[in-house]
A and B are shown apart, each in its own frame.
Chain A
Amino acid sequence: MTNQAGRFGVHGGQYIPETLMNAVIELEEAYNHYKNDPQFNAELTELLNEYANRPSRLYFAKKLTETLGGAKIYLKREDLNHTGAHKINNVLGQALLAKKMGKTRLIAETGAGQHGVATATAAALMGMECVVFMGEEDTKRQALNVYRMRLLGSDVIPVKSGTATLKDAVSEAMREWTNRISDTHYCLGSVMGPHPFPTIVRDFQAVISREIKQQILEKEGRLPDAVMACVGGGSNAIGTFYHFIGDKDVRLIGCEAAGRGIDTFETAATISTGKLGIFHGMKSYFCQDEYGQIAPVYSISAGLDYPGIGPEHAYLHDTGRAEYVAVTDDEAVNAFEFLSRTEGIIPAIESAHAVAHAMKIAPEMDKDKIIVVTISGRGDKDCAAIARYRGENIYE
Chain B
Amino acid sequence: MSNIANAFKNGKAFIPFITVGDPDLETTGKVVREMVKNGADLIELGIPFSDPTAEGPVIMEANLRALKGGVTTDKVFDFVRALRKDVTVPMVFMTYANVVFSYGTERFVKACAETGIDGIILPDVPYEEKEDFAPVCKQYGVDLISLIAPTSENRIAMIAKEADGFIYIVSSLGVTGVRSEIKTDVHEITAQIRANSYVPCAVGFGISTPEQAAKMAANADGVIVGSAIMKLIAEHGKDAAPVVGAYVKQMKDAVISV
**Residues of the A chain whose Cβ atoms lie less than 8 Å from the Cβ of B155:** 18, 21-22
CA–CA, A181 and B170, complex, Å: 15
Q: Check B151 for interface membership: any CB of A closer than 8 A.
A: yes
Q: Check A161 for interface membership: any CB of B closer than 8 A.
A: yes
Q: Check A342 for interface membership: any CB of B closer than 8 A.
A: no
Asked if A18 and B126 sit within 8 Å, CB to CB, the answer is yes
> Could you list some 6 contacts between A and B, CB below 8 A?
A2-B130, A21-B151, A22-B152, A161-B60, A276-B101, A278-B96
A178-B173, A278-B96 known; 11 new pairs, CB 8 Å cut-off, are A13-B128, A15-B124, A18-B148, A19-B151, A21-B126, A161-B57, A171-B51, A179-B174, A277-B98, A279-B97, A288-B98
**Residues of the B chain whose Cβ atoms lie less than 8 Å from the Cβ of A181:** 151, 173
Given contacts A2-B128, A162-B50, contact A291 B152 (CB under 8 A): no
Q: Check B209 for interface membership: any CB of A closer than 8 A.
A: no
**Residues of the B chain whose Cβ atoms lie less than 8 Å from the Cβ of A99:** none
Asked if B103 and A1 sit within 8 Å, CB to CB, the answer is no
CA–CA, A276 and B98, complex, Å: 9
CA–CA, A350 and B102, complex, Å: 30
A-B complex: 8 closest residue pairs judged by Cβ atoms: A292-B102, A179-B174, A19-B149, A2-B131, A278-B97, A292-B98, A293-B50, A3-B128
Q: Check B256 for interface membership: any CB of A closer than 8 A.
A: no
Q: Check A23 for interface membership: any CB of B closer than 8 A.
A: yes
Asked if A22 and B102 sit within 8 Å, CB to CB, the answer is no
CA–CA, A19 and B53, complex, Å: 12
CB closest residue in chain A, given B170 = A19
CA–CA, A288 and B97, complex, Å: 13
* A18 partner, pick from B51, B72, B74, B147, beta carbons under 8 A: B147
**Residues of the A chain whose Cβ atoms lie less than 8 Å from the Cβ of B131:** 1-2
Asked if B175 and A175 sit within 8 Å, CB to CB, the answer is yes
Q: Check B210 for interface membership: any CB of A closer than 8 A.
A: no
Asked if A294 and B51 sit within 8 Å, CB to CB, the answer is yes
Q: Check B8 for interface membership: any CB of A closer than 8 A.
A: no
CA–CA, A19 and B174, complex, Å: 8
* A19 partner, pick from B67, B102, B173, beta carbons under 8 A: B173
CA–CA, A292 and B102, complex, Å: 5
Asked if B152 and A21 sit within 8 Å, CB to CB, the answer is yes
CB closest residue in chain A, given B76 = A291
Asked if A180 and B173 sit within 8 Å, CB to CB, the answer is yes
Q: Check B129 for interface membership: any CB of A closer than 8 A.
A: yes
CA–CA, A281 and B126, complex, Å: 10
- Max chain A Cβ within 10 angstroms of own Cβ: one of B57, B99, B174: B174
* B-facing residues in A240-281 (Cβ within 8 Å): 275-281
**Residues of the B chain whose Cβ atoms lie less than 8 Å from the Cβ of A175:** 53-54, 56, 174-175
Sort chain B's interface into a size bin: 35 or more
**Residues of the B chain whose Cβ atoms lie less than 8 Å from the Cβ of A290:** 102
Q: Check A14 for interface membership: any CB of B closer than 8 A.
A: yes
**Residues of the A chain whose Cβ atoms lie less than 8 Å from the Cβ of B140:** none
Asked if A16 and B174 sit within 8 Å, CB to CB, the answer is no
A1-27 vs B, CB cutoff 8 Å, 1 = contact: the mask equals 111010000000111111111110000
* A288 partner, pick from B102, B153, B154, beta carbons under 8 A: B102
From residue A392, how far is it (CB to closest CB) to chain B in Å? Answer: 35
CB closest residue in chain A, given B146 = A18
**Residues of the A chain whose Cβ atoms lie less than 8 Å from the Cβ of B129:** 2, 13-15
From residue B197, how far is it (CB to closest CB) to chain A in Å? Answer: 15
B101-141 vs A, CB cutoff 8 Å, 1 = contact: the mask equals 11100000000000000000001111111110000000000
Q: Check B150 for interface membership: any CB of A closer than 8 A.
A: yes
Q: Check A185 for interface membership: any CB of B closer than 8 A.
A: no
CA–CA, A280 and B53, complex, Å: 8
CA–CA, A288 and B50, complex, Å: 10
CA–CA, A14 and B126, complex, Å: 8
From residue A109, how far is it (CB to closest CB) to chain B in Å? Answer: 12
Q: Check A324 for interface membership: any CB of B closer than 8 A.
A: no
Q: Check B17 for interface membership: any CB of A closer than 8 A.
A: no
Q: Check A115 for interface membership: any CB of B closer than 8 A.
A: no
Q: Check A286 for interface membership: any CB of B closer than 8 A.
A: yes
**Residues of the A chain whose Cβ atoms lie less than 8 Å from the Cβ of B128:** 2-3, 5, 13-14, 21
CA–CA, A117 and B159, complex, Å: 40
Asked if B126 and A291 sit within 8 Å, CB to CB, the answer is no
Given contacts A179-B173, A179-B175, contact A19 B150 (CB under 8 A): yes
Asked if B170 and A291 sit within 8 Å, CB to CB, the answer is no
From residue B112, how far is it (CB to closest CB) to chain A in Å? Answer: 15
From residue A20, how far is it (CB to closest CB) to chain B in Å? Answer: 8
Given contacts A16-B126, A278-B124, A279-B98, contact A291 B147 (CB under 8 A): no
CA–CA, A278 and B49, complex, Å: 12
* B149 partner, pick from A18, A168, A293, beta carbons under 8 A: A18
Asked if A18 and B67 sit within 8 Å, CB to CB, the answer is no
Q: Check B192 for interface membership: any CB of A closer than 8 A.
A: no
CB closest residue in chain A, given B123 = A17
From residue B18, how far is it (CB to closest CB) to chain A in Å? Answer: 19
* A-facing residues in B86-104 (Cβ within 8 Å): 96-103
**Residues of the B chain whose Cβ atoms lie less than 8 Å from the Cβ of A72:** none
CA–CA, A58 and B147, complex, Å: 50
CA–CA, A286 and B100, complex, Å: 15
* B-facing residues in A98-129 (Cβ within 8 Å): none
Q: Check A167 for interface membership: any CB of B closer than 8 A.
A: yes
CB closest residue in chain A, given B154 = A22
**Residues of the B chain whose Cβ atoms lie less than 8 Å from the Cβ of A1:** 131
CB closest residue in chain B, given A2 = B131
